Each structure stands twice: as C-alpha cells, then as structure tokens.
C-alpha cells in the first residue's frame, strides 16, 4: 500500500483522538491574564488613553484594554495598546485585519528581534499624513511570545483542544512617529525592559 493512501486515514484517526481527548472535560479552564500594565517610562512624557467607542462595542465584554501615549524629548511619540483577551477567540486578531478599515496602507512588513523578542513591524501610511511605524507581538499568561498570528492560533487551538485551557493572550501594538526603525527599536527595547518583563 502506498504511503500517500495512508495519510488521510492517519489524519482522521488523529482528529478523532483529539476530539475524544477534548471531550474529557465539559468546559476548558480560563487562565489568569498576563500581568502586562502600561506604566510611565523614565525619559518619556506619558498619558493614559481611553479605549475607543468602537473597541468597547466591538470586542467581547471580558476583553481588557490598556492604552498609553509616550513622547520622547526629541518629539517622537508612541501610542501603545495592550489588548488582553478573555474566553472568546474574537478578542485578539491580526492587526492587518483592521488597519485597512482605519484608512491605513501597509508597507514593508518584516520581523525583527528586539531585546531578544520577536516583533512584527510595518510602515503604515494614511492619506495626507506622515508614515508611521507599527509593531506588534503576542504573549500569553505563561510568557510564550510570538509575532506570528499563525503560531499563536496553533498554540491556542492546541491548548483549548488538548490541554483543556483557554490561554489569556495579550496583543501589544505600538504606533509611532516618525517611521524610523532605529527609534522604534530603542523604544521597544525600553518597553521590553520596563513593561513586558
């Protein structure tokens, strides 16, 4: 028998086994949220920002949102948002899904390792406005970090299905002006040291 003909039955057996394993508990356990709180950073002026009306009305009620704007002495600024999901999978999504609806064109996507952590970085442009830096990463309550939405989804499905738990993912996004990668990296490194550790 050809190995290719064994693949579909093998996949079916794995799927059925995973479903049986998932069925052993009626409801997955909701984990505690990651301890990520935006604070003042020495050397930056900062202010807390409110969640927008669309964020409050679109995201599930058990989603928490923390926002802060930081400005450095050289005039560059960074708006940081931490969205922590709850029981629903719809709290966290790829930022590329909503940036176009906010009027942004996305350019130059790349992954950067900053302060030893994985970040997805873009340049975003809105009509009649200067280009902005945009970066994001995901982390869960166990400290697992990735900038890959696919990797985050795979781990989330695995933990819900196999481990019987709902991870509390935090999505950290940074929007900054000017669109200067070196300045963004310096700010992210500072945020990693004082907020995300």
Q: Where are the alpha helices (DSSP H) in 26-81?
A: 53-58
pLDDT digits (tens, 9 = 90+) for 81-130: 999 998 888 888 888 888 888 889 999 999 999 999 999 999 999 988 89
Is the CA virtual torsion 100, 102, 106, 111 positive or negative? negative
Q: In the numeric block, which tokens belong to residue 65? A: 């949102």
Rounded CA separation 74/144 (Å): 34
Question: Angle, nearest 10°, between helix axes 3-22 and 149-161?
Answer: 60
Ranges of residues in the chain with a pLDDT under 70 are 1-6, 11-12, 14-26
Residues constituting the chain: 197
Q: What is the pTM of this model?
A: 0.84
Domain edges within the chain: 28-194
List all residues 6 or more positions away from 62 whose beta carbon is below 8 Å from its beta carbon: 86, 87, 88, 91
Distance of CA 137 to the CA centre of its chain: 4
């Amino acid at each position: 028998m050809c190995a290719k003909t064994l693949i579909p039955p093998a996949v079916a057996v794995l799927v059925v086994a995973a479903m049986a394993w998932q069925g052993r508990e009626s409801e997955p356990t909701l984990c505690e949220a990651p301890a990520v709180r935006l604070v003042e950073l020495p050397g930056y002026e900062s202010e807390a920002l409110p969640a927008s009306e669309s964020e409050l009305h679109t995201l599930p009620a058990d989603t928490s949102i923390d926002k802060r704007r930081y400005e450095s002495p050289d005039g560059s600024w960074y708006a940081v948002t931490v969205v922590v999901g709850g029981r629903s999978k719809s709290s966290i999504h790829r930022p590329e899904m909503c940036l176009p609806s906010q009027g942004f064109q996305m350019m130059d996507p790349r992954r950067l390792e900053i302060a030893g952590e994985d970040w997805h970085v873009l340049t975003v442009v809105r009509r009649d406005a200067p280009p902005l830096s945009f970066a994001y990463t995901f982390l869960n309550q166990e400290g697992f970090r990735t900038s890959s939405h696919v990797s985050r989804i795979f781990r989330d499905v695995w933990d819900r299905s196999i481990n019987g738990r709902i991870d509390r993912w935090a999505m950290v996004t940074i929007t900054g002006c000017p669109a200067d990668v070196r300045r963004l990296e310096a700010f992210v490194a500072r945020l990693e040291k004082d907020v995300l550790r």
